Each structure stands twice: as C-alpha cells, then as structure tokens.
Amino acid sequence: MDHLDIYCGACGYDLYLPVMKPADAENAASRGWAADVLAPDVKGGSDTVRAGHTTQDHIDFRQNSFHGPVIGVQNNYGSGPGGPPADSWPRLAELRGLAHGVRSSRRFGDGPVLPPYVPRDCDGELDELLADALISGGLVVVTGEPLSGKTMTAWVALNRGTGDDTRVYTAPPGTDLRELPSALRDRDPTGTHVVWLDDLESHVGEQGLTAGILARLTHEGVLVLATMRDEAYDTHRFRDHPTARVLSGARTVELTCRWSETELGTLAWAEDPRLVDAMSLRDTLGVTQYLALGPELWEEWRRAGRPSGRPSGHLLVRVAVDAARCGITRALPLEVWESVITDFAPYADLPTTSGTFSADDLEWAARPRLGVSGLLVSGEEGTWRASGTLVVDALRSPDLPPPDPHLWWVMAQVARAHSPDESMGVVAVGSMAVRAVGDADDEQTLRILGEFAVWAGHDAEVRHWYGKLANRNRRSAHFLANYLAEQGEYAEAIRYLEMAAEAGHVGAQLDLGLLLVGRAEHWLTVAVQGGDSEAVAARVLAALRQARAARPDTVRE
C-alpha cells in the first residue's frame, strides 16, 4: 500500500497515512467527512477528546485507549509545486554571504565589502560537527546573542569544511520546505548537498522544517546548517513547542558578543581599518556588535538630515559627533550642545539652526538601534555623547567635510569650559588641523592659530601668528598688542596698539589710552620718589589718582 507523508502541525509527528484511492475519496466526501468530528469521547491519560473538536488537523492519539469505532476529519494540504532538483542547487562558490544573512560592515573607498573573518574559539568544535554531519547528515545550529556573529561564523565554517562544488539550498524566511526530501531523489550520490537556514526560527512550522522532514534529510546524509538566536532557541527547544522535536537532536555551538582574550589577541593583529577600529574604539560594545551597528546608525542619521526627516534630531547628533571628531569624548549636558549652536553658530548652512532641542529629539537620538546602542549614548546623569561607531564612520566618511577652523575654535572653547582634561589635546590637534585646512592668508585662520598658541603657552608661535595677522590687517594688531602687554612688554604693546588705533580700531584706541594712563601713573610714582621734578610729579600724580578714584576699573595696570 502506498503512503503519504503527512506531518502533524502540532507535534511534528509523521502520521504515515495511506494514500486514499479516488473512489474512497468520493465516498468520503458523500458521507460528509468534512463536517465536524463525529467520534465519541476518547479518553487517554488526563485528556478527553470530545466530538466536535476541530481546532487541529490532527490530534495525537498515541498512548490513548479507544472504545468503539472512531470517525474523524483529516485535512490533507497539497504541497506547492516541486522545488528544484538538488543537483541544480547553486554551488557554494556561486553564493555570497551578504545575500544569505551575513550583515554588511561600513565601507569607505574601494576596500573589500566585508572585513576579514577573525577566528572564534568555537571554530574547532564547529568544524568537527560539520565534518560529521557532512557524512551522516543532521542538523547543526550556531546559537548566540543578537549581533554575536552567528551567520558569519557558520558561513565561514561551511566554506572551510566543504568544496566550491557543494550544492547549497538557501531559502528566504517562510519558504515551504515540504518538497525538500523529494528534491534529493536521483541526485548525484558522490556530490555534497547542504541546506542553509539562517534564522532557523523563521523556517519552522507546518510548512517549514519539521521533525519528519529533518529525519528524511538526515537519512539522505544531508547537512542542515542553521543559525538561531539564544532566546528563540530556548523558546523552541525547552518549552511545549512543536519544534522541540526538531531541535532535540540538533548539535549546537554557542557564540557570545563578549570576545575572549584569545579572540581579542588575534584581532589585535588585524590590518583592516574596520577591525583596527573595532579593537580600539568599540567602547562598551562587543566586536561584532560594533561592526554590525555602524552601517545602521550611519544610514539612519544621514537620512534624518533631510528636510522631511528629523533635521533637529540630526543636528543634535551632529554637534556631539563634531565634538568627538575634535577630541571631546566626555558626555556633556544637552544645554552645552545647545549653546554651541546659539553662542558660536557653526552650522549656519544647515536647515535647522535654532539651537533648541525637544524631548522628542533626544528620545529619538538615544533610542537603542538593534537593541544595542543609540546615536547618542548616555554618560553621567543628564549627559550625552555620540556613539563611538558613528564617530569613527564620520571620521572616515568622504561625505562629511573635516571640521573647519571656526569649528575647531568652537570645540576648543567647549573643551576648556566643560572638559579641561581634554582641552590641551583639542588645542594641539586643532592647531595642526587648522594649518592643514585653513588659508594661510585668511585673517580668521591666523587669529585662531594665534589664540591656540596662547592657550598652549607657545610664545614664539603666538608672536608669529599674531604678527602675520597684524601685517595682514593693521586693525588686528591689537591681538599681538594685548598679548605683549600681558607679558609686561609695554613699549612693544604700545607700538602695536598705536598701529591698530591709527587704523580705526576703537577697542585698540581705548586700550591704548588706558595703557598709557597706567604707564603714566607708574612713571609719575617713580618721579615723586626723587629728582628735581618731584613737586610737579606729585601734583600730576594726585590729579591722575583722583581721576582713577572716580572710575577705578577703567585703567589697565
């Protein structure tokens, strides 16, 4: 007698039912077998199945007792069109991991799409399981946390353990797998055939990988290589779930996002820039989390800058990203990021420059993506900084121009006020960057370089840059004059103040007058202490001090 492969949708059990002859099928239809179940009560164990129970196509009657005839409904779902024969499946050499579940990594320039695979501690165990399953068949599952590298690890292992001519069956989630065993008929017995099921939880169910189908694939010596999240595996394996029988015979390898010292030691030798960054800049993220998260954050942030996107949220993240690009890694209060825009206006060319951010902007920026990290990461209470992977991508992206001299000056001011431990580093790097990107004859560039030199305490550079600025524009000679006055070099200070004052700089005119008054008081005091003009000096000094008493804060010492 012929049999039909019918599997229970609830328990995965192979019903192994006989094929109904056409006449029997007609009689069945005439007797109304498509109606409700007409069986009397059937008792078995602690359950009672009563007439009229129609919630399942199959009730598991094993370990039950039957008294009297049993009549019931059976719905046989016809399978879809047969799948391609196994010998027509794509060869492994023709497939690319990115098309079959491997996550992309951020790429700039002409480098490879994916960074080189870094060996994991479980590779040896996985290789042994695959070698055995390639001979005897069976299910091998790589489990792990989200973004732990399950798919890449499994894919690389498959390429390590099989040849380029290996035939691989791949399917999108929800594909009907019931014809898989039939596809293996008449296959080349000398060939290797593998079924690849990434995210196995999306390939189970009545039309997916059942215990019966897995048994037949195993019998044919076919390796079923799958990946599965830890949470999904536990749900399907250990709870009252129909796929528990599928997973009960699976051989598993576990991955974690936290890399061992051995794995990190291997990573340290990597030369790919993405792996180098992952080693040193991943912060609290795991290596694989860092690599997978980058493209997601970058693309969402980039698109948010459109007028129809979230321009204010984009701008909030932009300020934090630019601060990090300039060397400020400390998380800062939202008010600081707002003040950068309102006080210094470095983003006048962007569509949203009000400098005020809403709670929605912050919530959007801080919401974890892929369950891992947001565009902004919280620090101490009420403080925020840009995600490390977003900063690294910003540093490498050709789409984001390098900070201009004004932005460097702004961020140096922020660092001096809110992150003094980092301020000298910001000033030092900023000075080199401004020299590289700034116009050597531009007045703003010369002034910023001079101010950076003042903050860094580089006397010779201060005189150099402020001197060039004075020669470029006599009105700007007051920058060097004020610096010289602070060093006690009053004669030179007066010379440069006179240069600026004569050019019409009102501030220089005031500074020059105050400086001259201060110097006059100094020398009159010296004259009073002796000499032929002591009396005259005393009278003038008294008058000068009387004038100072009326406005004590207007004279520079």
Two tokens, residue 200: 């196995």
pTM for the whole structure: 0.72
In angstroms, rounded to a whole number, what is the distance separating the alpha carbons of residues 5 and 16? 6
pLDDT, tens digit, 9 for 90 and up, residues 47-102: 444 434 444 444 555 556 656 665 655 544 444 445 689 999 999 999 887 666 67
Two tokens, residue 40: 């009397």
Q: In what order do the strands lie in the sheet with 251-255?
A: 167-170, 193-197, 223-229, 138-144, 251-255
Ranges of residues in the chain whose predicted pLDDT is under 50:
1-58, 75-81, 552, 554-557
| pLDDT given at position 506 | 79
pLDDT, tens digit, 9 for 90 and up, residues 101-123: 678 777 666 777 888 999 999 99
Tell me if residue 25 falls in helix, strand or coil.
Answer: helix
Nearest 10 degrees: CA dihedral of 349, 398, 288, 124? Answer: 180
Give domain 86-264's CATH number out of 3.40.50.2020, 3.40.50.300, 3.90.1150.10, 1.20.1070.10.
3.40.50.300
Which 3-state string (H, E, C) describes 85-135?
Answer: CHHHCCEHHHCCHHHHCCCCCCCCCCCCCCCCCCCCCCHHHHHHHHHHHHH
Please name the residues in contact with 515: beta carbons below 8 A apart, sequence gap of 6 or more.
Answer: 485, 490, 493, 494, 497, 556
